[in-house]
Amino acid sequence: MIIAEIKHLEEVKQMLEGYGKVLNVGCGGCVAVCLAGGQKEVDTLNTQLTASLRTDGEATQIDGFTVERQCEVPFLAELDEMVEQYDALLSMACGAGIQFLAERYPHKPVFPGVNSVFVGVNKDVGWYEQRCKCCGECVLATTAGICPVTMCAKSLFNGPCGGPQDGHCEVDKDTPCAWIQICERLTAQGRLDNILEVHGPREWEGQTQSSLVLEQYKHRYAKDEGE
Amino acid sequence: MGNLRNAPYKIHVSDEALTEETDSMPKDAEIPVDRDKIKAMLKRKKGRMKMCLAACAGCTLCAESCFLFMGNEQDPGYMPAYKVLNSLGVLYRKGGKVSRAQLEEMRELVFKRCALCGRCYCPFGIDLPNMLSFARSILRSQGIYGMYPHSVGSPEAEALGEEDNVRPPSAE
């Protein structure tokens, strides 16, 4: 899921300076699971903001409303009637959701309430680790389910660099070397030959990919893409 | 809407959900339900939602389109129509006059038993995801929303106790 963290209160306050009525829009998707932008976090931030602004002598009114997912039009539509009542919107969704919200209401200033950090997993409460860089060229099939792009500090494709010491990365001594882990797991599975073939340089321009149309839906959008 | 209880189909609308509020109303101190707000929300989409609710023939064809239904041994409680009728259906039938306990029961249906993936299919064209989303919005307006096992204050976290509270299922 997409992992995000709530912005510092002072930063949010600065963004909202001068706006009389603000709607804080939460998202019930990924950011709710990582406890950054769900309804509970919206309520908490609103309480903190209101109290802090009141202390500063500001009379800003901050209301909250959480939609199921800010990255889908039908859910955003819930906001249509209420948005007009506000001077600005604060979004607690990931960067994609924030932009989608801003796109739907282009005449309203939209501000981010969270920082989107990465695509990761939930290791423990409040402990998330990056596992995917969305590079667009997945090699997990041959690397025993361990991503060298994400887990190797140098994103190497053909084995470890010369730096690992005692199985750990030279960049961070507490981090296990991804390639040693890959080798160990492949050996245990009896398929070490998976990585014997040299992997050529990857197409790094894939990093800039910003949209994906599933094969079965390409015909639907073919006309738009051709124009 | 009138066919909720009497329709000859297998989708069960619980009696508890339809019982007029009486002694079952919780008596301990709790946040009161803002019924005016619920009524206003229900009214906003009344035409479309009541039409959809009335159009449900109970064919159960939506069931197999729900991966949670299929993944839970085809438990009827996961059937999309069941979830809609026992949440939004009850809200409309009772005109928003529901207790907090009843809303809490709906939390399980619309937040826990539904991922809102939008894949549920109705041959009559009933927009089931939209209805479940609407039910969620109404519950959210009353401070009832999905809790994750590791969320502070979630029933699961409280049941685990303070020490185990910091361990999500994925780490078990």
How does pLDDT run across B52-65, given as a tens digit for each residue? 999 999 899 999 99
Please report, for chain A, the start and end positions of each structural domain, with discontinuous segments joined by +: 2-119, 135-208
Whole-angstrom distance, CA of residue A31 vs CA of residue B32: 28
- Taking an 8 Å cut-off on Cβ atoms, the answer to whether A74 and B145 are in contact is no
How does pLDDT run across B66-91, given as a tens digit for each residue? 999 999 999 999 999 999 999 999 99
Domain A2-119 falls in which CATH fold? Answer: Rossmann fold (3.40.50)
Q: Specify the pairing of strand A114-124 against strand A2-6.
A: antiparallel
Q: Is B154 on the interface with A (CB under 8 A)?
A: no
Torsion, CA A124, CA A129, CA A134, CA A138, rounded to 10: -90
Instruction: Give the distance from residue B31's alpha carbon to the nearest chain A alpha carbon, in angstroms.
Output: 15
pLDDT of the residue at B2: 41
* φ/ψ (deg, to 5) at B96: 85, -5
Q: Which residue of B has its CA nearest to A122?
A: B170
Whole-angstrom distance, CA of residue B152 vs CA of residue B73: 30
Q: Is the pLDDT of residue A35 over 70?
A: yes
Q: Is B31 on the interface with A (CB under 8 A)?
A: no
What average pLDDT score do residues B109-114 get?
94
pLDDT of the residue at A210: 56
Q: Is B168 on the interface with A (CB under 8 A)?
A: yes
Residues of chain B with pLDDT > 90, as a percent, come to: 63
Of the residues A41, A65, A68, A127, the best mutation for testing chain B's interface (the one with the most B CB atoms within 10 Å of its CB) is A68
Q: Is B150 on the interface with A (CB under 8 A)?
A: yes
pLDDT of the residue at A48: 96
By CB neighbour count within 10 A (0-12 exposed, 13-18 middle, 19+ buried), where does B156 fall? middle
Of B137, B51, B46, which is closest to residue A74 (Cα–Cα)?
B137
What average pLDDT score do residues B14-25 get?
54
How does pLDDT run across A93-111, given as a tens digit for each residue? 999 999 999 999 999 999 9
Residue A119 DSSP SS3? strand
Q: Is the pLDDT of residue A126 over 90?
A: no
Residues in chain A: 227
pLDDT of the residue at A216: 75
Q: Specify the pairing of strand A21-27 against strand A2-6.
A: unpaired
pLDDT of the residue at B57: 92
Q: Which of A33, A66, A74 sits opposite B140 (nearest CB)?
A: A66
- Taking an 8 Å cut-off on Cβ atoms, the answer to whether B116 and A69 are in contact is yes
How does pLDDT run across A174-200, given as a tens digit for each residue? 899 999 999 999 999 999 999 999 988
- Taking an 8 Å cut-off on Cβ atoms, the answer to whether A124 and B151 are in contact is no
- Taking an 8 Å cut-off on Cβ atoms, the answer to whether A38 and B145 are in contact is yes
- Taking an 8 Å cut-off on Cβ atoms, the answer to whether A35 and B148 are in contact is yes
pLDDT of the residue at A207: 64
ipTM of the complex: 0.70
Is the torsion defined by CA of A222, A223, A225, A226 positive or negative? Answer: positive
Instruction: Give the distance from residue A123's alpha carbon to the nearest chain B alpha carbon, in angstroms.
Output: 7
Q: Is the pTM of this model over 0.80?
A: no
pLDDT of the residue at B9: 42
Binned at pLDDT 50, 70 and 90, residue B10 comes out as low
How does pLDDT run across B136-160, given as a tens digit for each residue? 999 999 999 887 766 666 666 666 5
Please report, for chain B, the start and end positions of each structural domain, with discontinuous segments joined by +: 32-141, 147-172
Is the torsion defined by CA of A115, A120, A124, A127 positive or negative? Answer: negative
Beta-carbon count within 10 A of A130 CB = 14
Q: Which residues of B touch A69 (CB under 8 A)?
A: 116
Q: Is B65 on the interface with A (CB under 8 A)?
A: no
Whole-angstrom distance, CA of residue A137 vs CA of residue A207: 9
Q: Which residues of A touch B171 (CB under 8 A)?
A: 123-124
What is the rounded average pLDDT for all residues in chain B? 80
Q: Is B133 on the interface with A (CB under 8 A)?
A: yes
Q: Is B146 on the interface with A (CB under 8 A)?
A: yes
How does pLDDT run across A128-149, given as a tens digit for each residue? 889 998 888 899 999 999 999 9
Whole-angstrom distance, CA of residue A147 vs CA of residue A155: 9
pLDDT of the residue at B154: 64
Of B138, B133, B145, B131, which is closest to residue B36 (Cα–Cα)?
B138
Binned at pLDDT 50, 70 and 90, residue A223 comes out as low
* φ/ψ (deg, to 5) at B147: -115, 135
Whole-angstrom distance, CA of residue B136 vs CA of residue B116: 10
- Taking an 8 Å cut-off on Cβ atoms, the answer to whether A32 and B148 are in contact is yes
What average pLDDT score do residues B26-52 get?
85
Q: Locate tokens 């709790």: which residue?
A: B30
B81's CB contacts (< 8 A; 6+ apart) are B11, B56, B58, B60, B62, B63, B122, B128
How does pLDDT run across A38-83, given as a tens digit for each residue? 999 999 999 999 999 999 998 899 999 999 999 999 899 989 999 9
pLDDT of the residue at B84: 96
- Taking an 8 Å cut-off on Cβ atoms, the answer to whether A68 and B136 are in contact is yes
A140's CB contacts (< 8 A; 6+ apart) are A146, A147
pLDDT of the residue at B31: 81
pLDDT of the residue at B20: 52
